[in-house]
Amino acid sequence: DIVMTQSPLSLPVTLGQPASISCRSSQIFVHSDGNTYLHWFQQRPGQSPRRLIHKVSNRDSGVPDRFSGSGSGTDFTLKISRVEAEDIGVYYCLQATHWPWTFGQGTKVEVK
Amino acid sequence: VQLVESGGGVVQPGRSLRLSCAASGLSFSGHGMHWVRQAPGKGLEWVAVISSDGRDKQYADSVKGRFTISRDNSKNTLYLQMNSLRAEDTAVYYCAKMDCGGDCPRDYWGQGTLVTVSS
């Protein structure tokens, strides 16, 4: 199975400042169709998760443009250009190329 | 779109439970569907997926051989049959539509149903 490792696991932020989360995989996971199915999810306190970014760098519909995803190979990054209060929660990366799909451990973004 | 899970509760180790997920507002039979779980205070764990026609299924190693995913497209309902339950299966179970073929349509998640395995 592909292991997804996120860092940091806890990220104290100052509102209005940028934030960055790393996700590293134990192996490259490029699909036979050429896509890398690396997605990012947000889970606000008390809510169900929702996807923010699909296939490394594509924002889902309705996701603010302060969120961006990048990376390739085994290293991926989620960036928030200016953290807002509604961004507080836990963020997960997901490898969705090979079965079984695997999530990272999660990164808790909280106000400093 | 709504996904509504039901069937959770308290169950003794070794016993069985069946979860349901009723879908509305989407073309249910056109999408693969997933179960994802979250132990109390822990992260997300992908559990299982079933193809749109129900023929193809995949499972996490932790549940393989004990859990069975199924669907009834005539009832717009997804199921998870959980047998030989263990304490470590205690979690909130979410059903989710999160396919990403083509232009990767948006995902949808239910509110989750809590399963507690305890004697």
* Among candidate residues B104, B40, B90, the one with its CA nearest the CA of residue A35: B104
Q: Is the pLDDT of residue B101 over 90?
A: no
What pLDDT shows up at residue A76?
Answer: 98
Interchain contact, A101 vs B46, CB within 8 Å? yes
Residues of A in contact with B104 (CB under 8 A): 54-55, 58, 60
What pLDDT shows up at residue A17?
Answer: 97
In the stretch 43-62 of chain A, residues with CB closer than 8 A to chain B read 43, 48-51, 54-55, 58, 60-62
What pLDDT shows up at residue B103?
Answer: 83
What pLDDT shows up at residue A44?
Answer: 98
The b/e string for A62-84 (b: 16+ C-beta within 10 A; e otherwise) is ebeeebbbebeeeebbbebeebe
A7 touches chain B (CB under 8 A): no
Interchain contact, B107 vs A50, CB within 8 Å? yes
| Maximal CA-CA distance, chain A | 43
A16 touches chain B (CB under 8 A): no
Model confidence pLDDT, tens digit, residues B60-100: 999 999 999 999 999 999 999 999 999 999 999 999 999 89
Average pLDDT taken over every residue of chain A: 97
DSSP result, B55-107: --EEE-TTTTTTEEEEEETTTTEEEEEE-S--GGG-EEEEEEE---STT-PPP
Interchain contact, A106 vs B98, CB within 8 Å? no
Residue/partner pairs of B12-15 with CB below 8 Å, 24 or more apart: B12/B85, B12/B117, B12/B118, B12/B119, B13/B85, B13/B86, B13/B87, B13/B117, B13/B118, B13/B119, B14/B84, B14/B85, B15/B85
Q: Which residues pair with B18 in a beta bridge?
A: B81
Who among B49, B100, B109 is closest to A54 (CB)? B100
